Structure 1
Amino acid sequence: MAFEPPRRLVRALGETAPDAEGWLEKLPEAAQQAVTLRELTVERVQVPGGRSSLVVLVRRADDTPAVLKLAPPRARPESERAALAHWGGLGAVQLLEPFTTEGVLLLERLHPDVSVRSLPEAKALLEAAGTLRRLWVEPPGDHVFETVAERTGRQAEAMRATASASAEVAGLVDAALAARAELLVSPPEHRLLHGTFRQSKVLAGERTPWLAVGPDPVVGECAFDLARLVRDRVEDLIASPSGAATTRRRVKRLAESLDVDQERLRGWTLFRAVESGVRALRVGRAQDAELLLEFAGWL
């Protein structure tokens, strides 16, 4: 079978990781080697798939369904492996092998086409938040996960560079960076976080109704993780005449339901929305940038 990377993956890596071109060229051969080594039967490549990895639906030698995932180093697949091993299937997809090949993960098969986004909005937020809560555990004592301060520090540098060339976003960038600086002074806890959590990262499973997939794990305060969930379905929020009020209510409701400080959640939501908007602007996704920066302005 030909393991051609989906167009969505090629486009996303072209925007965010131009240095991944060599990885993409070697991907079909690497996928074939991973399948052969594990004696897997391939069903299909998941399309449109993710933005940072190739996902292949397979069956193991005993005919149990599984997922083979291949990701470039930039996507930190070994960090994902370590987080999944630490969670041990509680709230997240189960890792089926501790380590065989760097950059290759064999995972429990969920229902790849059924995420909580298929639910009505209020129910989706409730189920997603419940899943996220289970992931917030103490990190391993000897962990090497990136911290929130480290990750947002790298992002802050890129935001400053873009803001210096675009006066229209400078005000929002200044507000986001000021919020970050204040939030990092005394974080209330240090937990293992999913890192890139949103509704589409929660898939239907067999062991439990919903399980998280695709973490980019980081260690820090819970409000940072929850912040990305606040802006889910941002296009619907922007299109609604009550979008700003709905956003503020969402911040309050999510903060209360997960025992997170509301102002800290608002601050991290502002930072993460501006960071995403500036990044979209930088790679030429003007429409996405406009939506995210308008949303950030409501905060």
Structure 2
Amino acid sequence: MIETPELFTRCTVEREGAAGAAWLAELPGIVAELLEQWECAPDGEVMHGGVGIIVPVLRRTQERAVLKVSFPHPGNVHEPDAFEAWGGRGAVLLHERDDERFAMLLERVRTSTLEQVEDGDEVVAVAGRLSRRLAVPAPAHLPRLREQADSWEEQLRRDESELTHALPRYAVDAAVATVRELGRTQPDLLIHGDLHARNILRADREPWLAVDPKGHVGDPAYDGGTLLKTRALSLIGAEDLGKAVHRTVDVFVEAAEVERERVRRWAQLHAVQAAFWARRHGFRVARGGPLLDRITEFADHLAQLLTRPA
């Protein structure tokens, strides 16, 4: 039987409550059944991400792989669909899937992530090149991001009216305009949906491969906005933040071969949403106190910097 990492156990219970505790109690048995079903043997320490565990395994053929089992959640449903559509092109290979148990047998890659690369331009360029390769015609059954546009707009207006904040009206209006003008008419292309440097791992078959996709369908420039949001704190000490932010956009645009204005606008929307989210929920790295205040203030600043073109 596997031993579930203590941190993963604690975070799952804090986030999911009784349902999380019940799932954790069943998890060792689920893993044991899947190992037998897929003829695998454990081959290393159990690792974990935010919502799932990763068990290194050896297949019957002695091929190295990993068993991933995630907490049952709507956000995890289409991960295997994305891997199937890519077929290993820019992402890890999917060997087996068990949708009922939110489980997959995946190609094993290294544990080092793109986030550990010191050259910021290289981080953004690698992510951009992968984003370009992952943008393929999407299967018909995958969720379209355009279907979320109405709820995005409603949440923005609710946050603007209900929360105490320092965001100027023009910044919120610009985010709403992006939802209306870009959000409702997106292409039918498969995108990662949660593209950031921790979801890109070193590999042997290719230098870098993506993991943990959401399996969304929409504008590839959306992933550029997601990347910038997650890279933003690395720019917090920049001498000229505006220059550094727009440099990040430029590097991504060139590597991903997407329209610069679309990336900027998606990034601005992400920044406004993050500024409001901070006020309602905080972040994993800061639920309150001076650090959250600093991050929230930075998100406000970032949203305003991105509201107008460079």
Q: Shorter-chain TM-score category? A: 0.7 to 0.9
Q: Sort the Cα spacing of 1:290 and 1:11 in 2 relative to 1 into closer, same or farther, 3 A.
A: farther
Q: For residue 84 of structure 1, what is the amino acid of its counterpart? A: F
Q: Is the 8 A contact 1:128 1:198 kept in 2?
A: yes
Aligned equivalents of 1:274, 1:13: Cα separation in 2: 29
Q: Residue 148 of structure 1: CA displacement?
A: 1.3
Q: Is the 8 A contact 1:78 1:102 kept in 2?
A: no
Q: Is the 8 A contact 1:52 1:75 kept in 2?
A: no
Q: Give the corresponding residue for 2:93.
A: 94
Q: Is the 8 A contact 1:52 1:71 kept in 2?
A: yes
Q: Give the corresponding residue for 2:163.
A: 166
Q: Is the 8 A contact 2:222 2:263 kept in 1?
A: yes
Q: Give the corresponding residue for 2:253.
A: 255
Residue by residue, what CA displacement relative to the aligned partner does 1:3-41 show, whole Å, maximum 9, x if unpaired? 3255257437744x5575243343333223322333322
Q: Give the corresponding residue for 1:44.
A: 45
Gaps of 5+ in 1: none
Q: Is the 8 A contact 2:125 2:251 kept in 1?
A: no
Aligned equivalents of 1:29, 1:294: Cα separation in 2: 48
Aligned equivalents of 1:177, 1:19: Cα separation in 2: 37
Q: Is the 8 A contact 1:224 1:269 kept in 2?
A: yes
Q: Give the corresponding residue for 1:132.
A: 131
Q: Sort the Cα spacing of 1:34 and 1:186 in 2 relative to 1 into closer, same or farther, 3 A.
A: closer
The answer to whether residue 295 in structure 2 is matched with residue 293 in structure 1 is no
Q: Give the corresponding residue for 2:207.
A: 209
Gaps of 5+ in 2: none
The size of the alignment, in residue pairs, is 292
Provide the identity percentage.
29
Aligned equivalents of 2:19, 2:37: Cα separation in 1: 24
Aligned equivalents of 2:297, 2:246: Cα separation in 1: 19
Residue by residue, what CA displacement relative to the aligned partner does 1:100-134 show, whole Å, maximum 9, x if unpaired? 7531111000002x112222211122222111211
Moved over 6 A (4+): none
Aligned equivalents of 1:9, 1:272: Cα separation in 2: 30
Q: Residue 247 of structure 1: CA displacement?
A: 0.4
The answer to whether residue 34 in structure 2 is matched with residue 27 in structure 1 is no
Aligned equivalents of 1:243, 1:9: Cα separation in 2: 38
Aligned counterparts, 1:1-299, within 5 A: 1-8=1-8, 10-11=10-11, 14-15=14-15, 20-21=19-20, 22-42=22-42, 43-46=44-47, 49-99=48-98, 102-112=101-111, 114-119=112-117, 120-140=119-139, 143-168=140-165, 171=169, 172-184=171-183, 186-187=185-186, 189-284=187-282, 285-286=287-288, 287=292, 288-299=295-306
Aligned equivalents of 1:291, 1:19: Cα separation in 2: 35
Cα root mean square deviation, aligned:
2.6
Q: Is the 8 A contact 1:115 1:202 kept in 2?
A: yes
Q: For residue 203 of structure 2, what is the amino acid of its counterpart? A: G
Q: Residue 89 of structure 1: CA displacement?
A: 0.4
Aligned equivalents of 2:275, 2:24: Cα separation in 1: 26
After TM superposition, the score normalised by the length of structure 1 is: 0.86
Aligned equivalents of 1:277, 1:26: Cα separation in 2: 37
Aligned equivalents of 1:92, 1:117: Cα separation in 2: 17
Q: Sort the Cα spacing of 1:153 and 1:163 in 2 relative to 1 into closer, same or farther, 3 A.
A: same
Residue by residue, what CA displacement relative to the aligned partner does 1:183-218 show, whole Å, maximum 9, x if unpaired? 23544x321001001111111111111111000011
Q: Is the 8 A contact 2:94 2:104 kept in 1?
A: yes
Provide the secondary structure at the position in 1 that maps to 2:269: helix
The more displaced of 153-162 and 143-152 is 153-162
Q: Residue 234 of structure 1: CA displacement?
A: 1.8
